[in-house]
Amino acid sequence: MSTTRILTKDIDPSELNELFCENQKSFYLYIANYAASGSNENQQDTKPLRLHQIENLIDCIFSPNMHWSFYNAVLDTDIYNTMEKYHRNDKDKIIKRILSLASDYKCPMRVRVKSTAFDTVKLLKHYGFFELPQMNDEFQYFDFYHSDIVLKYDVKSDVKIYELNDSTQTDCRMRKFEWGYVLCESFGFRNPEIYGPFYANVWSRVEVGPTKPVRMFIAVKNDQVIGGCHVSFANGIACLFNVTILKNERGKGIGKALSQAAMISARELNYRYMALQASKMGAPIYKKLNFKSIPSYKTFVKIATAAWYYKIIEILLVMVGVQRLQLFIKIIQKLSNNFLVVIIIGMIIVGIYIVTMFK
């Protein structure tokens, strides 16, 4: 089958989420190959990520001492099936090794699990992983063959959107470094003095460009990076990642323009489908661009730290259940947008559960 036929073939929406997760795995591994590998042990100590392949089977990425990171991940959506496929009877040993590394690196672990992987869900729950709440319309896709939308982007004259290229731009590394801080601010991390340098360090190392597996577009204003996104091409589809804008630059069409720049690059390469994982804020924008929903995978997390506030979150999710917690969050959001009210209500609930536990 020719490359063109592979890129343009019909794909059922139910299969697109699996392809997206496979693409995301390739995306993370590409990042880790730059940000986790060292030529010697001393250099390895300075790297922001650690990459391990457990028993030559399960790829895992760790972010040492980071309480939360996109790159703390087990890169397999059906661990149980993978171990069965290779006739491994030491499943407990493999899981315990993953948890041991997470403990050594003092970071949580995240696992995305396909909806049909019931045995994997059972295995993860047995070892204390809990399911995170997920919003509706989180996974979305775009079919270039069934859309008449005109792809063009317009932004104000003081904003410039362009693609980064390590091979031709001398300031490319600096721009990627700046974008790391934008990512941190955009996602509202509470410790920017920690996460800003971390993400800047990771991305300044990763090669990007038109001939690389990962392409990167940025928005620049007054010679400063104010936003950016990544697009990767693997497994027959294009995937959009990390569309981020500084908070004070939102609502100006910059995120939409970055998304369209990435979409144009995919169309020029004859890709039929683009998939993404939308944030709550980004989901309505993609709907306007004619993206459609696909089933989301479940996300499970195991918290390695013993910090009391993380343990309370874990207790709540286990005792209340992810579906009830999602419903409760929606009710609170409808009742009030006042952050203080939400915090007070949350503290009351936590107090009730703690009292219940120690009765």
pTM for the model: 0.81
What three-state secondary structure class fits 296?
Answer: coil
Mind listing the pLDDT tens digit for each residue in 36-87?
865 445 555 678 999 999 999 999 999 998 888 888 899 999 999 999 998 8
Per residue in 289-320, pLDDT (tens digit) is 899 998 888 899 887 655 444 555 544 554 44
Query: How crowded is residue 265: how many other Cβ atoms within 10 Å of its Cβ?
Result: 18
Spatial separation of the C-alpha atoms in residues 294 and 302, rounded to whole Å: 26
Of 49-63, 167-181, 267-281, 345-359, minimum mean pLDDT range = 345-359
Sequence-separated (6 or more) residues with CB below 8 Å from residue 294: 13, 14, 16, 17, 20, 139, 140, 141, 275
321 φψ region: left (φ > 0), alpha (ψ -120 to 50), beta (else): left
Q: What is the pLDDT of residues 61-73, one digit of tens each?
A: 999 988 888 888 9
* Chain centroid to CA 231: 13
CA–CA separation, 137 and 292 (whole Å) = 8
Give residue 359's pLDDT: 42
Instruction: Specify the pLDDT at position 131.
Output: 87
**What stretches of the chain adopt beta strand conformation (E)?**
50-54, 58-62, 73-74, 109-113, 130-131, 139-143, 159-163, 214-221, 224-234, 237-245, 273-277, 292-294, 298-302
Q: What is the mean predicted confidence (pLDDT) over 117-143? A: 88
The fold adopted by the segment(s) 140-294 is Aminopeptidase (3.40.630)
What six digits make up the tokens of 131? Answer: 């399911």
pLDDT tens, 184-201? 888 887 788 888 999 999
**What pLDDT sits at residue 296?**
81
3-state class of 162 per DSSP?
strand
Residue 342 has pLDDT above 50, yes or no: yes
Q: Helix crossing, 192-204 with 13-35: angle to 10°?
A: 90
Q: Parse the chain into domains and list their residue ranges.
A: 3-135, 140-294, 322-357
What is the pLDDT, as a whole number, of residue 274?
96
Q: Say whether pLDDT at 181 is over 50.
A: yes
CA–CA separation, 44 and 102 (whole Å):
17
- Of 44 and 98, the structure prediction assigns the larger pLDDT to 98
Closest CA to 217 of 199, 237, 242, 188: 242
